[in-house]
Structure 1
């Protein structure tokens, strides 16, 4: 994989527990990639699913439509940040993400991927078998995001003086509220003025309502949601970030031409996706 390095030396094993959610997300990306009107194309997603077996994450199947829209939203965010000059990109809980391989990164982009060592080892094995080639400089780092991962990131070449594009995709709900606050503090200490951050979150009403079934399926996988966030703008502001884009559900569906309008009672509810900028 040209341009790739990895900080993981763990032997490859099939994902378990919370790492299985990365396979479930890969299922969603593979399904979307097969559509004639796909919002993106991920030619490696199916390989991850085949290597693990879709049956391992059967309970996450209903999540595929949301995965497609979330993936495209974050694709647009990252490419927009790159156009604004952000050549340092950090994917927290990168999972089986393939943006280093499928997005058209500008020259000079350095993309860091952080996740658990066993999951990264599985990912590297599959990508090697696929002959995947990164379109940017890529560094994968084994890290438990509940711990202090900043020293390893710095040692791998990350420069906190350079404005950075951060992505926390599929992460916050799996951490406790206290761990999310620690994560945000660590990101903030590493973020120069002009840095950008995007994330997804889960509000308490959605967890109890439309995603109750998904919550049960995740519990069965050993990947329970541990926290919710009902005021993402306020939470981000408290950690030094100003929200730039946080579409409501109907607006997000219309943006990408999917699914028609959300039910009237949910149309103006948050989509669970947001991007923000550090202005000072």
Structure 2
């Protein structure tokens, strides 16, 4: 389905299905030997969505006989990549909490269960922002699982292309307190101008000392849609037909590091491939993984 400026979705369609895809990878990664993440809710959430392919992924029912040559290797690539990304953002929130930040905002929260699975300090408030259907599904499913948040969880049901800052403040967000913000696996699903507005809004809502974690694809001669074909092929090798090239927005984008630096943030960045080594995972570099290699992970502090 081709994106439009005001499209919407649930967790079985469009951008929402990619949240289910990522949760499936987290579930697999959590059950590996010597896992670097622990997300006990990822599997149950994926099963509740009900997409057969991803249910089989989390239940370990994809076999070599079912997948084209190299398919299970592609699953390992995706699993390792999502595990590394997840650990990066987990560590970010833990570090922010150790620095005394007690207010967190997870943008495009999807099936993110950090409000339940991380050990938040007393007094922490975690805001989850996402489409109404996504928020409702996760809240209902987690309740049915008997899961309780480990922080005060507040949901903000709104599209990030709408006036989410007002909705966030209406939910009790305190602009006078430092905040830890995450924009994980998000930017490529926003139009270029919406990416700038997102960072403008984060900056305007942030007290000094606030922290931000995100990631981005650096400029390339190929468009975002063309780059998506690499990811498409790996999932197609497994038998999944989600077409990411129809979900990304093309166009010239601001360089995230430069944009944040110009707006008062102290920024550090590292390519995803370096994080693999940090967490004890091998990055099997190849031309087929060129786009994954170049993804940049960013942390920033305001002021």
Q: In which range does the TM-score fall when normalised by the shorter chain?
A: 0.7 to 0.9
In structure 1, the residue matched to 2:3 is none
Moved more, 227-236 or 253-262: 227-236
In structure 2, the residue matched to 1:17 is 14
Q: CA deviation at 1:229?
A: 5.3
What's the TM-score, normalizing by structure 1? 0.85
Unaligned runs of 5+ in 1: 1-12
Moved more, 51-60 or 90-99: 51-60
In structure 1, the residue matched to 2:263 is 239
Judging changes above 3 Å, is the alpha-carbon distance between structure 1 residues 260 and 64 closer, same or farther for their aligned structure 2 residues? closer
Distance 1:86 1:248 in 2: 26
Judging changes above 3 Å, is the alpha-carbon distance between structure 1 residues 270 and 235 closer, same or farther for their aligned structure 2 residues? farther
Q: Encode CA deviations 1:19-69: one digit per residue, 9 max, x unaligned.
A: 111101110110011112111111110111111235456899553221110
Contact in 1 for aligned 2:272/2:297 (Cα 8 Å): no
What's the secondary structure of 1:274's corresponding residue?
Answer: strand
Contact in 1 for aligned 2:128/2:154 (Cα 8 Å): yes
In structure 2, the residue matched to 1:74 is 89
What's the TM-score, normalizing by structure 2? 0.79
1:180-219 aligned at under 5 Å gives the runs: 180-205=195-220, 211-215=228-232
Contact in 2 for aligned 1:113/1:141 (Cα 8 Å): yes
Judging changes above 3 Å, is the alpha-carbon distance between structure 1 residues 159 and 24 closer, same or farther for their aligned structure 2 residues? same
Residue among 130, 136, 143 paired with 1:115? 130
Larger RCO: Structure 1 or Structure 2 (Cα < 8 Å, ≥ 6 residues apart)? 1
Q: Encode CA deviations 1:108-146: one digit per residue, 9 max, x unaligned.
A: 100000000001111112111111111111101101101
Distance 1:212 1:239 in 2: 33
- Segments of 4+ in structure 1 off by > 4 A? 56-62, 206-211, 215-219, 227-230, 263-267
Distance 1:183 1:250 in 2: 26
In structure 2, the residue matched to 1:248 is 271
Query: Alignment RMSD, CA only?
Result: 2.9
Distance 2:19 2:137 in 1: 11
